[in-house]
Structure 1
Amino acid sequence: MTGANIPFTKWSVVSEDQLLAQIDAIWTNLPIAIEQASTILEQKHEILQEAEAYARETMQIAERRAAQILDDTGIVQRAQREAQQLHAQISEECDRLRKQTHVDNELLLDQAREDCDRLRDEADDYATQALFDLERQLLEMLRIARNGRESLLRAREPDRPSDPSARPSGRAQVRKAS
């Protein structure tokens, strides 16, 4: 951010538009971070759906295999046990993936919230500092203006006191009102 230097001081005046543009840029990036987190969550959901589809497909394969060997009772029973075991394994794997996805989603959301909070705090700190600097610069300019005015008054009216409130009414009072 650039600003104009105030002559004879170390101060600069910062454009309000530039300051607001910087704050707007920070606020503009917050939704992007949240959108990225949402995209990751959707990808995790798709992976979970693919795992469930894989489980269904595996179950269908196991059922077809069991149907092919129906002639032999021992084989059928063994196939049923294998199918049940396979079903249990796949169910456990799906549950594990679902839980892991849930944990990952929570971590991503927590990270996105922390990022948003951090960005908001940084924006607030930046705005506070910019306003503090502006206030300090304005006070300095006010001091310079008062000193200049008092110097001019002293130079024009050497016998009169420098305090404007102590002056008698007249020409000086008219200037003060305008």
Structure 2
Amino acid sequence: MLRQDSPNRIAPDRNGTSANANLHGEASRVGGVDIQRELAKLEEMILEGSRLPILNRTLINEDQVLDQLEMVQMNLHPAFEEAKKLLQHKEEILLEAEQYAQEIIETAERRAAQILDEMGLVRQAELEMKQIRQRVQQECEVAHEQAMVEIERMRRQTQQEIEEMRRRAIAECEEIQEGADTYADRILQDLEQQFSDMLRVVRNGRGQLQPEAPVRNAARGGDRLKK
């Protein structure tokens, strides 16, 4: 069989396989038969044919080429089915990867939302704590003012009570002093009355003794003459 040389054919590598066969060798292996390798063998059969430079043709072994083509053709359908399965499996893997990535994204979004909620709760707690602190401070200031007003009221009331007690004490002292003066005056009056009575008794006694005084004096004079 004569074959015209193609300027765009794929040259085999050093191991007798083409670059395309190296790229898809594993994917085209079906039932122990490597389609890429068999295609590479077919290409080698063609390339190893006798060259006819004048006609720009290659003389090949038709039986070997047909047998090789038949074997490749027999394994193409299983290879295509295997390729479909691989593509389907690849799509399933990609779908699972997309689902997994979507789950990761959703989890990250939920976590981010949770963090934002927690940050919002923290800010809300800080705001409430600030409001409570301000309210407590205001209540303390009001309580302090009320306490100062109450202390001032109690101070004035105490001062008034002390002034009232002082006034009462002075009044009681004056009353006691007046009572003491009255009592002393009454005592002195009683003493004066007693002294008056005693003086009257003394005077009466002296009055009773005065008539006998000349007789006694005369008797005393006679006695002195006798001596």
Q: Given the two structures, how large is their TM-score scaled by the length of structure 2?
A: 0.39
Bigger Cα Rg: 2
